[in-house]
A and B are shown apart, each in its own frame.
Chain A
Amino acid sequence: MKPRTLKLRTVRALPAILLALLALAAWELAVRVFAIPEFLLPGPSAIAEVFWESRGLLLEHAIPTAGEALAGFLGAAITGLLSGVLINRSPLAERALYPWLVASQTLPVIAIAPILVTWFGYGPLPKVLVVVLFCFFPITVATVDGLRATDPDLIRLMRSFGASRRKTFFMVEAPGALPFLFGGLRLAVTYCVIGAVIGEWVGSSKGLGFLMIQDKAQFEIPRLFAEIAVLSAMGVSLFLFVALVQRLTAPWTLRER
């Protein structure tokens, strides 16, 4: 990246950073002035302190959560892509599959999680499945929409060359669907941390979700906030990771038209 654009980006991010600092200051001030007890609302400084003290513990439990979120996201990306392509290729698959995929989104995943735990135990698998359930649908829809948005004239052009359907798919339709697909991936990736935590709430022996349940029971409220901060940072990093992959593999999708 050129230094100029980097500087420009910093300048553009400045209002958001200033607002955050201002909010943190107001929060700290309110907690001190009104003497709010720590188990109700700890101030940012108290949370930071606990965060530093428990950094080893937080890291230890952040790793399985991140692993579940990432594995679930990859699983969702694969199932979403495959189902999307299948729905696009075959009208029969669309009629058979699409209504059920939509219906599956109305199921409360929180209610399914205990069943998954009963079936698959306390290990990482049920959490990964919860994440997949949370994330695959936006990716399916993005794939279907992206493939459907192919310019019909482009398909005619490929036909006029005498290109096979397969060539047309891989040379024109699939790359053309990438802007949509990355939109779906960026949306889905923000869900995957939530999915992993919900999976852990229901039954686990490690992970940030597990730690949250424990800290809540023991009134370790500042550490609860620290855990939320870690989860949020995790979600943002995953989002930035997807954005980076998009920038590296398909830079043309980011160009303004």
Chain B
Amino acid sequence: MPEDPIRRKLVIQYAPKLTACGVHLAKGGVRILDGVDLEVESGQFVAVIGPSGAGKSTLLSLLAGLESPDAGLVEKDGVPLVGPGAVAYMPQSDLLLPWRSVVANVSLGLEATGASKREAREKAMRALERFGLEEFARVSPWALSGGMRSRVALLRTALLGRDVLLLDEPFGALDALTRRELQEWLIGVRDELAATIVLVTHDVDEALLLADRVVVLSRRPARVALSLPVELERPRKMAVETTEEFAQLKGRLLEALGIVH
């Protein structure tokens, strides 16, 4: 990190939002990540796909600062990441607390990082209103459908107000129809979230539908097999999936995944 304040500002402005550079990680003697390089520009939506067990979730925990690489560098705004707390991270399961109402679950992150309870709840309430979920504010999470639970968990992550959102298969546990609903919802609220987003998914269609760029990881030990810009018109509609362009991109992704030759 340069000491000079002007240089420091330049680094933050021109450095990519998130960088993983030659990241290696082994767990219990098993090599999981084998020199992964990833660069995410500010405001970009990047989807990471790969075979199951390839290390997608591990890569995301490195970007979240929850784990450190054995070798290589993870940076945010050109500054090495030293620990968790710099970015917002949403794990695979929604992890809503049964003893908290929806609004109290949404405010959990703010309360955990020192905001006063009242202030955090007020912010959470306003966020629920903005996303049209205010009627569920006082409800217990057990009464919510799977899709609703995911929305609430996503809102809890977004409310942290950090400029990077890391989403680990946020809709993985939902049925196909609810997934569609949530994908449409995410397209709709993306501008509202105003963040750089990295989404891990095993769903090629989801990746193409949502992302500006799709990164394919190879089988374990993982490297980046393909980084594919998705230049489809935005805001995207579900109908984009039936276009020729979409099919071509999907073909390239499947090829990189080793499913189609």
Contacts and interface: CB of A to CB of B under 8 A. Distances in A.
Interface of A: 151, 153-154, 156-163, 167-168, 171-172, 175-176, 178, 250, 252, 255, 257
A151 B96 CA distance: 11
A161 B109 contact: yes
Given A157-B95, A159-B66, A161-B160, A171 B142 contact: no
B84 A160 contact: yes
Contact of B113 (A162, A178, A255, A257): A162
B66 A160 contact: yes
A153 B89 contact: no
Contacts of A153: 91-93, 95
B137 to A, nearest CB: 17
A250 B98 CA distance: 10
Contact of B140 (A151, A157, A163, A252): A252
Contacts of B84: 159-162
Contacts of B198: none
Closest 6 CB pairs of A and B: A162-B85, A163-B112, A160-B89, A161-B112, A161-B109, A252-B98
A154 B160 contact: no
B66 A163 contact: no
Contacts of B99: 175, 178, 250, 252
Contacts of B241: none
Contacts, number: 58
Interface string B105-122: 000110111000000000
A257 B143 CA distance: 11
A255 B85 CA distance: 33
B10 interface: no
Given A156-B61, A160-B89, A171-B108, 5 more contacts: A159-B84, A160-B91, A161-B84, A162-B83, A252-B98
A175 B97 contact: yes
A160 B64 contact: yes
A159 B86 CA distance: 11
Interface of B: 61, 64-66, 83-86, 88-89, 91-93, 95, 97-99, 108-109, 111-113, 140, 142, 160
A167 B113 CA distance: 8
A51 B95 CA distance: 55
Nearest to B92: A153
A163 B83 CA distance: 11
Contacts of A167: 111-112
Nearest to A250: B99
B66 to A, nearest CB: 6
Nearest to A156: B66
Contact of B97 (A156, A160, A162, A172): A172
A161 B108 CA distance: 9
B162 to A, nearest CB: 10
A156 B95 CA distance: 11
B95 A151 contact: yes
Contacts of B108: 161, 171
B112 A171 contact: yes
A167 B65 CA distance: 19
A151 B98 CA distance: 13
A160 B93 CA distance: 14
Contacts of B65: 160
A156 B93 CA distance: 12
A158 B99 CA distance: 16
B74 to A, nearest CB: 14
Nearest to A255: B142
A160 B85 contact: yes
B113 A154 contact: no
A220 to B, nearest CB: 51
A157 B97 CA distance: 12
Contacts of B109: 161
A85 B111 CA distance: 23
Contacts of B113: 161-163
B95 A154 contact: yes
Contacts of B97: 154, 172, 175-176
A257 B66 CA distance: 31
14 contacts: A151-B95, A153-B91, A153-B95, A157-B89, A159-B84, A160-B84, A160-B89, A160-B91, A161-B84, A162-B83, A162-B112, A171-B108, A171-B112, A250-B99
Nearest to A163: B112
